[in-house]
Amino acid sequence: MIVDFHTHFYTSAYFDEIEKGGYQAELVRDADGNRLLKLDGDYSMIAPGHFDADRVIEHMDRHGVDRQLLSFSIPGLHVEDPNAGRRLARVVNESLAATVDRYPDRLSALAVLPLQDPAASAVELMRSVSELNLRGGLLFSNVNGKSPGDEGFHALYAAAVSLDVPLFLHPTSPPSIEPFQQYRLVPIAGFPFDTTLAAIQLVMSGTMAAFPDLRIVLGNLGGTVPYLAARIDQGYISYPEAQGKLDRPPSEYLKNMYYETAGMPGAGALRLAIDFAGVDRIMFGSDFPQQIADVDLGLRIIDELGLSEAERQRIVGLNAAGLLKI
């Protein structure tokens, strides 16, 4: 069984709302006529797979994917006015649920949340899981510059723990975007850097210690977390400012997070993540239908590692199936 944990689906309902205007995110067209969802110097090119479930299923069949987890994408709803964010979350989550209902054996989905209002996010997560049968929620590496390790998000984390569902921490543009505006460096480097920062903040803030059963999935193999883990521990030992909220080294908390493979096309990076977190914490993801996505390459890299069949099966499907209860 192959489960693609990291894919994106905005829904037609969301695009219909954004096209009315009056939102921070905007739909524009480039010189070739392609639709772009744009905000603050970065954009996503809109493909049919972002809103057409039939095209999603066609793609899955073509690449041998058994189940796909749909989630919203950048720029998220937290960039909007709080009232708009809360309203759009309900619209999008109901549309996601209706899409999953069309293909219940092939599709699952995560709730998008109005993260600029953490209390409302907790309520929307409860509604989406309990009433709409969504499988967890989408978090971002920063929320309008605010760290996910901020205490204000604790109500959301408590809700996720009570529901026993994961939160997928997806990268977004770093708060200081200027150094990344050339050469599409926001997705190339800004995303993994911001994911790394968010993961460390979740640990150093004491959030992961306060919620030991919180299931956080880090996008893109956790950015540079596996590479930096030893340095993070050394910093914790060396700097008094890093201490006081943990009862064991930071890497022990980081190892309890989950890591999905999208956007890291290299066997060396994947091997490092497996050696760091263990094969039970790694899940296949493709980033479909983003421009950078490559399902076949991602699966081929897993095959190149020389894993046992049992280990391979855990990464390509069983870990995600267990986490999502599918």
Model confidence pLDDT, tens digit, residues 110-166: 999 999 999 999 999 999 999 999 999 999 999 999 999 999 999 999 999 999 999
- Span 11-35, average pLDDT: 89
- Residue 265: pLDDT above 80? no
Q: What pLDDT sits at residue 41? A: 64
Q: Given the structure tokens 């693609």, which residue do they identify?
A: 4
Range of the domain at 301: 3-324
Q: What pLDDT sits at residue 181? A: 77
Q: What pLDDT sits at residue 321? A: 98
Residue 292: CA count within 13 A, CB half-sphere: 20
Q: What pLDDT sits at residue 266? A: 83
- Residue 264: pLDDT above 80? no
For the ranges 1-10, 12-21, 177-186, 243-252, the one whose mean pLDDT is highest: 1-10
- Span 101-107, average pLDDT: 98
- Residue 282: pLDDT above 80? yes
At 30, which CATH number? 3.20.20.140
Distances (CA, A) of 104 to 3, 5, 69, 133, 185: 14, 16, 11, 11, 37
- Residue 292: pLDDT above 90? no
Q: How confident is the model at residue 27 (pLDDT cuts 50, 70, 90)?
A: confident
Domain count, the chain: 1
pTM: 0.95
Q: What pLDDT sits at residue 64? A: 97
Model confidence pLDDT, tens digit, residues 35-85: 888 887 667 889 999 999 999 999 999 999 999 999 999 999 999 999 999
Bin 74: left if φ > 0, else alpha if -120 < ψ < 50, else beta.
Answer: beta
What value, to the nearest 5°, has the Cα angle with vertex 171 and ends 169 and 175? Answer: 120
Residues 6+ apart with CB under 8 A from 122: 155, 156, 158, 159
Angle between helices 267-277 and 225-238 (to 10 degrees): 50
Q: What pLDDT sits at residue 155? A: 98
Structure tokens that stand for 107 in this block: 């599709």
Q: How confident is the model at residue 270 (pLDDT cuts 50, 70, 90)?
A: very high
Q: Which of 116-120, 191-195, 260-264, 317-321 has the lowest mean pLDDT?
A: 260-264
Q: What pLDDT sits at residue 263? A: 82
- Span 193-207, average pLDDT: 97
